[in-house]
Chains A and B, each alone.
Chain A
């Protein structure tokens, strides 16, 4: 029941809707008493030869109006209550979405996409069940159950009612127990489904390896084994699922048996008429659902409660990135002064950055190189304020970047991330992601600058070609170049390319770098790369290793130094010349 209280805010907000819903439910329950009563009465009138045309017409008239009223009232509560549930789901989904939008990197590292999706789908479904099926069964059990029992007592006999009700609680117990077992079994079934899904995913992704090693048949055998296990698990689901109807039949059957024996005795003793017995039997049928629903109610509420707590927990998490109270609103431009003594990722023991310091004068280009995991991307992440908790300070134009408003800071930065994520919309909207009002000409300029314009023209629908998960598959290089165009589009004061030229061939890379040089003569650029040719023209290059700067200088100076950079340069030049990758 606690969940009803937790959702109190919603029921309060939608009080009119729910009030009407419950009123309609009450009306349905009351009208539902009529048909059994009419049947019983007519039977008795026939049985006692007291039926007259007038009486027949009257009772049939009552039945007819009951039919129509029932239809209207049912429509009434269904739209109110189911609609309320749908609306709650929407409200919560909106909240979650907006919450996601505001959360920081730490949050998204803690919760994986799949988990967040599960919260936004499965958990919301469970919660909306409370506002729909939960409210319905709660009200229905009390109202319909109550009215029917009252009708049984008034129109038939209180002793028979009492006797017949004895097996009824078993319905609630059965539905609760079976429901809980089904839930568990269903969970296992879902897990089995996931395993099948993962297996298929892996085989399709690794198809080349499987072919290379001639493992097709063995892989099929492995799949079939998983399928066999899945069948065994689903057998349990089918078994439990198949027990629901028999359980109802048996318990209701018990009630009928009580009615036959005790009701029959009452008829024999002239305490009730046959017509009343017939009405009574119909009333039993009307009780099945409310009683069964009580058991279901517990399961709905339990699951809804657990889901609500999970979602609530999620919503209570706060971003560690907080805007300063009197944040600077003017766009961040100027020299970058980076002086981080130490940064450790939340939850890590080893620091990822140690004593990283450099000054990047406005309009200059900085290159950052080093092997995978040396801290290049982390360095960038701090600049983007994905993490604020580090020792040291990063300044732009003499102000701590944490003193700028997020708008002022981030609007000045154009960022091309490593994974060059594109949205599933067309190429044009991907490029003008920051501002949908930009013209086609502006989009094309950016595409030309990032050397992807010609590629786009070869797509079937040109700039209208849809990319992303459901669209055409682009090569890694094309994605990277579109991501660069997207960042160029805002003409940012500071452009950051985070290993975003890795899939572009050497010639195109050179074109892009040349374009950047001419177009961004007075603006700051930071390039991280594995391939040294990406940074060779930078004003300063820093070489990272294990979170520290181990070499720094211009390309020429670093070559002369004969350290890591020089060694790498040599190796890459040869490989590039011969392999061309």
Chain B
């Protein structure tokens, strides 16, 4: 897996797929046609100006200077004309770069928007299978690569314009010598082809080494405690040094390649072309007349012909990167691991909060069944407690009920209607889930309770916080409800986070409460608050709880004992204890009589 990931940048994308990816990537530029066309027009204009300016000087030299006819008016006139030309050139240069840059930027951000939107349409299964880091990298880093990718085409375009216009200008002066210059084109193409295939390999190698280097560095910093405790500093350094040296080697190879095949060789070819051009002019000058300005203009065009090459060749390496990035981006956009869908004409409303599972079976992967034939009813306002060991299927019941995952066998009914006959929004509005791990968002306390729902007023937030007894500690914070919440809510204890997440659920006033009670060890006072909160939260609501707390279990109208995806016992606490079955065994398992008694008296 790791090896595959690392070499993705080195693998070649098949040609057919390349074309397909290219086509789709170009699809994103369509919306910004205006900007791209503007940039292309500017590039064409620039190429023309670059031809006209030397032409102006040629005329100036041949008509006036050579014949000693340049009066001060003519000198100033040429200077003004040239000045205007330069200003026009500056303007086209700016627009070519700016318009293309903005077009690429906007198109790239559209890709980002599409990716992000798509992510929210995907089901939990996708997120279970895909590491968060790689998803984030697709949305941010890979899209970034696309800018360079599109820029390749700009530099190719600019280059071709320059070459074509230079050739036309040369042809107008002397078709024969223009053809002689153009004879260098095949040589250049060979150099470009050789460079791009060879440097691509070196470049990829270098990139991979760099990524290894940074991974090693990062990991060594993060794992420093382990490294030091195991006294492995020396070995890790040796390993790092090896990668460091290998990276230097690949970099040196890259420098050598570029020194041999990039700017210096283009310059060499340019000077060789000059030799050819000048010799042809020289030979014809031996028996006919050649003007000075003509030679000047022609040699300048030779420069225009060769100049863009370096840039073009240099940018080619981004082509492959763009392909790899595009491929990974489209893999997400083409992902069909969608979140479970509701009926098209779903329009029911949850009014009572009666929940019924009818013979529900479920598997995450379509192969290994996790839930077998689960049936139970929770009447409005009642509590059902799910009890069982890890892997017994407690969480799966919640996952299925919250529509995080699709199930294919049996039926879940809410108020007597199939769960699919409610719109997702309706389900989310009326069913509140409290997760064991209270996730905090960057922002402030209020925004963490409200989330994005602007309909919730500050007063409601305060009321919710008071109800779950979070108001006390929130009001102690600097800024109170507007106290900043840093990454992951690290400044709060896990108990405080739990209280905030209770408030978050409560403020939406759900009909049905789904609880995944936290087992985390919390200090006694917070623990008492949580116990108290849970009881109060459940009042007047239908509750389905993965129960870890005695209070929840004792209050439950129905306890379901799960084992390997089946309900093996059901009843309330007293009836289950009386039944002397598995629940009773579990209950007895590690507490002696005395403990049970204490628990009872505690209650």
Evaluate contact between B97 and A245: CB separation under 8 angstroms: yes
Provide the residues of chain B in CB contact with A470, threshold 8 Å. Answer: 1-2, 5-6, 215
Provide the residues of chain A in CB contact with B235, threshold 8 Å. Answer: 436
Residue A47, interface by CB 8 Å? yes
If the complex has contacts A372-B494, A423-B223, are A275 and B255 also in contact, measured as CB distance less than 8 A? no
Provide the residues of chain B in CB contact with A75, threshold 8 Å. Answer: 259-260, 264
Of B228, B442, B493, B598, which is within 8 A of A570 by CB? B598
Chain B residue at minimal CB-CB distance from A102: B233
Q: Which of B245-253, B376-384, B457-465 contacts A (4 or more CB under 8 A)?
A: B245-253
Residue A322, interface by CB 8 Å? no
Evaluate contact between B292 and A193: CB separation under 8 angstroms: no
Contacts A74-B264, A238-B102, A274-B292 supplied; 18 other A-B pairs, CB < 8 Å: A39-B295, A42-B282, A64-B275, A74-B263, A83-B255, A117-B214, A198-B442, A213-B453, A214-B427, A219-B452, A224-B113, A245-B94, A249-B93, A466-B2, A570-B598, A576-B590, A578-B548, A581-B519
Would you mind naming 25 contact pairs between A and B with Cβ atoms under 8 Å apart? Answer: A42-B295, A44-B292, A46-B282, A46-B290, A51-B286, A56-B286, A67-B268, A67-B275, A70-B268, A79-B255, A208-B439, A210-B451, A220-B120, A222-B452, A238-B102, A239-B98, A250-B87, A275-B292, A372-B523, A472-B1, A570-B595, A570-B598, A574-B595, A577-B586, A581-B519
Evaluate contact between A67 and B272: CB separation under 8 angstroms: yes
Q: How far is the CB of B24 from chain A (nearest CB, A)?
A: 20
Q: Which of A354-362, A404-412, A445-453 contacts B (4 or more CB under 8 A)?
A: A404-412
Provide the residues of chain A in CB contact with B286, threshold 8 Å. Answer: 51-53, 56
Evaluate contact between A113 and B218: CB separation under 8 angstroms: yes
Provide the residues of chain B in CB contact with A372, threshold 8 Å. Answer: 493-494, 521-523
Evaluate contact between B224 and A108: CB separation under 8 angstroms: yes
Residue A573, interface by CB 8 Å? yes
CA A86 – CA B247 in complex, angstroms? 9
Q: Which of A93-101, A135-143, A299-307, A387-395 contacts B (4 or more CB under 8 A)?
A: A93-101
Query: Which chain A residues numbered 134 to 181 have a C-beta less than 8 Å away from chain B?
Result: none
Evaluate contact between A411 and B231: CB separation under 8 angstroms: yes
Residue B82, interface by CB 8 Å? yes
Evaluate contact between A214 and B521: CB separation under 8 angstroms: no
Chain B: interface residue total (CB-CB under 8 A): 162
CA A121 – CA B140 in complex, angstroms? 19
If the complex has contacts A216-B120, A578-B587, are A56 and B282 also in contact, measured as CB distance less than 8 A? yes
CA A505 – CA B519 in complex, angstroms? 13
Q: Which of A5-13, A255-263, A290-298, A310-318 contacts B (4 or more CB under 8 A)?
A: A255-263
Evaluate contact between A116 and B221: CB separation under 8 angstroms: yes
Of B94, B267, B272, B504, which is within 8 A of A64 by CB? B272
Chain A: interface residue total (CB-CB under 8 A): 146
If the complex has contacts A372-B493, A434-B232, are A93 and B244 also in contact, measured as CB distance less than 8 A? yes
Evaluate contact between A257 and B83: CB separation under 8 angstroms: yes
Of B89, B109, B429, B433, which is within 8 A of A249 by CB? B89
Evaluate contact between A63 and B274: CB separation under 8 angstroms: yes
Provide the residues of chain A in CB contact with B308, threshold 8 Å. Answer: none
1/0 per residue A229-269: CB within 8 Å of B? 01100110011011101110110110011001100110110
Evaluate contact between A264 and B78: CB separation under 8 angstroms: yes
Of B237, B278, B387, which is within 8 A of A60 by CB? B278
CA A43 – CA B228 in complex, angstroms? 74
Evaluate contact between A261 and B295: CB separation under 8 angstroms: no
CA A420 – CA B148 in complex, angstroms? 40
CA A531 – CA B102 in complex, angstroms? 57
Residue A516, interface by CB 8 Å? no
1/0 per residue B478-519: CB within 8 Å of A? 000000000100000110000000001000100000000101
Provide the residues of chain B in CB contact with A521, threshold 8 Å. Answer: none
CA A268 – CA B60 in complex, angstroms? 12
Chain B residue at minimal CB-CB distance from A574: B550
Evaluate contact between B247 and A90: CB separation under 8 angstroms: yes
Evaluate contact between A204 and B119: CB separation under 8 angstroms: yes
Provide the residues of chain A in CB contact with B303, threshold 8 Å. Answer: 285
1/0 per residue B67-99: CB within 8 Å of A? 010101001101100110111011101110110
Of B124, B521, B587, which is within 8 A of A207 by CB? B124
Residues of A within 8 A of B (CB): 35, 38-39, 42-44, 46-47, 51-53, 56, 59-60, 63-64, 66-68, 70-71, 74-75, 78-79, 82-83, 86-87, 90, 93-94, 97-98, 100-103, 105, 108, 113, 116-117, 120-121, 193, 196-198, 200-224, 227, 230-231, 234-235, 238-239, 241-243, 245-247, 249-250, 252-253, 256-257, 260-261, 264-265, 267-268, 274-275, 277-278, 281, 285, 371-373, 384, 386, 406-407, 410-411, 413, 415, 417, 421, 423-424, 433-434, 436, 466, 468-473, 486, 490, 505, 530-531, 567, 570, 573-581
Provide the residues of chain B in CB contact with A576, threshold 8 Å. Answer: 590
Residue B371, interface by CB 8 Å? no
Residue B132, interface by CB 8 Å? yes
CA A371 – CA B494 in complex, angstroms? 12
CA A35 – CA B296 in complex, angstroms? 12
Provide the residues of chain A in CB contact with B435, threshold 8 Å. Answer: 208-209, 212
Residue B33, interface by CB 8 Å? no
If the complex has contacts A205-B132, A212-B402, are A113 and B65 also in contact, measured as CB distance less than 8 A? no
Residue B425, interface by CB 8 Å? yes
Provide the residues of chain B in CB contact with A417, threshold 8 Å. Answer: 225-226, 229
CA A572 – CA B185 in complex, angstroms? 81
Evaluate contact between B113 and A421: CB separation under 8 angstroms: no
If the complex has contacts A245-B93, A268-B70, are A235 and B278 also in contact, measured as CB distance less than 8 A? no
Evaluate contact between B439 and A209: CB separation under 8 angstroms: yes
Residue B390, interface by CB 8 Å? yes
Residue B174, interface by CB 8 Å? no
Q: How far is the CB of B187 from chain A (nearest CB, A)?
A: 14
CA A148 – CA B93 in complex, angstroms? 27
Evaluate contact between B292 and A246: CB separation under 8 angstroms: no
Provide the residues of chain B in CB contact with A35, threshold 8 Å. Answer: 271, 274
Q: How far is the CB of B383 from chain A (nearest CB, A)?
A: 15
CA A466 – CA B5 in complex, angstroms? 12
For the complex of A and B, the 7 pairs showing the least CB-CB separation, nearest first, are A214-B428, A253-B86, A218-B452, A580-B389, A67-B271, A246-B90, A238-B101
Provide the residues of chain A in CB contact with B550, threshold 8 Å. Answer: 574-575, 578
